[in-house]
Amino acid sequence: MKFKTRLLMPLLAVLMLGTATSAFADLTCNVTAVLGATPGPAPQAVNNGHTEVPGDLQFSCTAPNAAPTTDTSITVYYAGLTITNTTAIPAGHVISVANTAGTLGAVLDTTRADTGTPAVNNGGSLVAITLPAQATPAAGTFVLQNVLLSLNGGTTIGGNVSASLNFVSPLGNTVLTGSPIVVINSVQPELNSTTAPPAIAAPIAGQAAAPAQFTAAGGTAQPTPSCPALSACANAKSAFSVTVTEDHNNAWRAPGTYYLNGIGTALNGTAVLYTFSGMLPGSIISNCVLTPSNNTMHYSQEVHDKLEAVLGKGAIEATLVEH
């Protein structure tokens, strides 16, 4: 009998310790991702350097006990990605904390040494929040909202983006669950293009392509009006094509689809920059034809306008045909 008592005592101590630990949380906050009014992370984003919208972080807190809590520091870390906005800009889409239920009074923390002042460290991917002391803890909800991220160079195509959170509670009786949390489900690649440099194309079928010919002063020597039709000299003007392809159906986007949640809207949509190098003085790029695929007419027109601004009006013949 004495032997059995000795075996039971350690077991009883373990059970009592487990009960005390689970009962020690006087305020428990579970973090989830929400996008607008919809639970869950953003479905996808593009790794092209533009600002992207992750899911907001919602903290749903319960109070299993009535013991007071002290100020709790919360650090939200966005996987090393650059945060592209602040608590002040852009107007209409600033980072903020909204207390949506209860009286928890969570605020952005402007006194933390790790983030500096203000409460957002853009390059450090950090946002600091303070959950004030609760004399009598009660259930409540608050949301970290409107954080904007650049995915350029800091993500893996096909992977997701997560936010990691750290709770520092001096008494240890405020507990966080749910971290890390996925805020973007799928990172998609940017636009693709033909690899360098485009080949010279022969405008006349059956004739070999010839490099462009120039006089010493930079003027065009060939072809001339006397050049016989369908002959090799008629191909002395170089022709090439550059193809920019949409890897997936989210690659071409209007401004509002970069961030638009009823609060703020992006200023720029998807744009393409063409850089032509190694051209001789006096060279002219002309007779360019833009041929968009489905649902890209307005984006191709934007590209046309940008090229025309550089090359001069009339230098580009834009054929916008929706297939």
pLDDT, greater one: 255 or 217: 255
Q: How far is CA 217 from CA 161, 175, 214, 226, in A?
A: 56, 77, 8, 21
Q: What is the pLDDT of residues 8-58, one digit of tens each?
A: 444 333 333 333 334 468 999 999 999 888 899 988 888 877 788 899 999
pLDDT, greater one: 321 or 132? 132
pLDDT > 70? residue 105: yes
Q: What is the pLDDT of residue 3?
A: 43
pLDDT of residue 20: 37
Q: Categorise residue 316: left if φ over 0, alpha if ψ from -120 to 50, beta otherwise.
A: beta
Question: How far is it, in rounded angstroms, from Cα 276 to Cα 286?
Answer: 13
Give the model's pLDDT for residue 291. 73
Label residue 143 by pLDDT band (50, 70, 90): very high
175/21 Cα distance (integer angstroms): 11
Q: Are 183 and 57 in contact (CB under 8 A)?
A: yes
pLDDT on residue 258? 75
Q: Could you give the CA distance from residue 201 to residue 208 in angstroms, rounded to a whole number?
A: 8
Higher-confidence residue: 248 or 154?
154
Tell me which of 116 and 78 has the higher pLDDT. Answer: 78
H or E segment to which residue 16 belongs = helix 2-22
The first and second tokens of residue 77, run together, are 């870390």
The pLDDT of residue 182: 96
The 10s digit of each residue's pLDDT in 180-191 is 999 999 998 877
Confidence at residue 242, expressed as pLDDT on a 0 to 100 scale: 76
Least confident of 132-141, 172-181, 220-229, 312-321: 312-321
The fraction of the chain above a pLDDT of 70, given in percent, is: 65
- Domains in the chain and their CATH numbers? 16-188 (2.60.40.1510)
| Torsion over CA: 272, 275, 276, 282 (sign) | positive
Q: Give pLDDT, residue 141.
A: 97
pLDDT beyond 60 at 66:
yes
What pLDDT score does 78 carry?
95
Q: Indicate if the pLDDT at residue 125 is higher than 60.
A: yes
**Higher model confidence: residue 296 or residue 20?**
296
Provide the residue count of the chain. Answer: 323
C-beta neighbour count of 55 within 10 angstroms: 25
- Those residues whose C-beta lies under 8 Å from the C-beta of residue 143, and which sit 6 or more positions away, are 34, 56, 57, 58, 59, 97, 98, 100
Quote the CA–CA distance of 233 and 316 in Å, as a whole number.
24
* Full 3-state SS string of 247-271: CCCCCCCCHHHCCECCCCECCCCCC
Average pLDDT in the chain: 75
Q: Are 103 and 203 in contact (CB under 8 A)?
A: no
User: Higher pLDDT residue, 41 or 302?
Assistant: 41
**Window from 14-28, 66-80, 87-101, 266-280 with minimum mean pLDDT:** 14-28
| pLDDT at residue 22, as a whole number | 40
Q: Residues 25, 175: contact at Cβ < 8 Å?
A: yes
pLDDT for residue 188: 86
Which range (110-124, 158-172, 206-220) has the least confidence? 206-220
Percent of the chain at pLDDT above 90?
33
Per-residue pLDDT for 254 more than 70? yes
